[in-house]
Amino acid sequence: MPITDEIKKTLSDPTPLYALAGAGDLAYEKLCEVPGRVEALAADRKGAQERATARLQEAQSLLTGAQAKVTETVTALPTDLKVLQERAQGFALQQVARAVELAVKAKETYDELAERGKVVVDRARPGASDEADRPELTTEPVEAEPAAQSDAESAPKKSAKAGRDAVDAAE
């Protein structure tokens, strides 16, 4: 009968019933706290919602300010680009005009030096004592005699020196 004794002891022991009653009491206590917590959460939710709304408005104002600044910058950008483009075109035209002007001056200087060189070469030729009897220089090559060739070879050196002297004198 040992099993019967065990069953009697288990049925007569109130500990499991006390545990069940304690669990029910704890559940009741926690359920009584629920309305207070719900109210606290609702109040906290309203505060959190207000804080979130305030932050959202702040973010929207920052975004609006940033959008305005971006719009202003983007709007000003084409104007700045147009101004820069116009300045660049003006500068390019000025440089073209300056290059043409320098080319004209270079041509004039070249022509002056050529005239001067012509005079120097004419003076260096043998028998060039009478300038009125000399014919004008032509573009056809002149054949020189062997003795006159040494003088012709020295003429370019004299002409180059005369050209350098003319440039030095002009400066």
pLDDT at position 128: 62
Report DSSP state, residue 125: S
| Domains of the chain by residue range | 17-134+142-170
Answer whether 88's CB lies under 8 Å from 122's CB.
no
Amino acid letter, residue 154: S
**Mean pLDDT across the stretch 22-36?**
88
Structure tokens, 55: 């932050």
pLDDT at position 101: 96
The whole-angstrom separation of Cα 144 and Cα 155 is 13
The whole-angstrom separation of Cα 20 and Cα 14 is 10
**Mean pLDDT across the stretch 19-31?**
85
Residue 122 predicted with pLDDT over 90: no
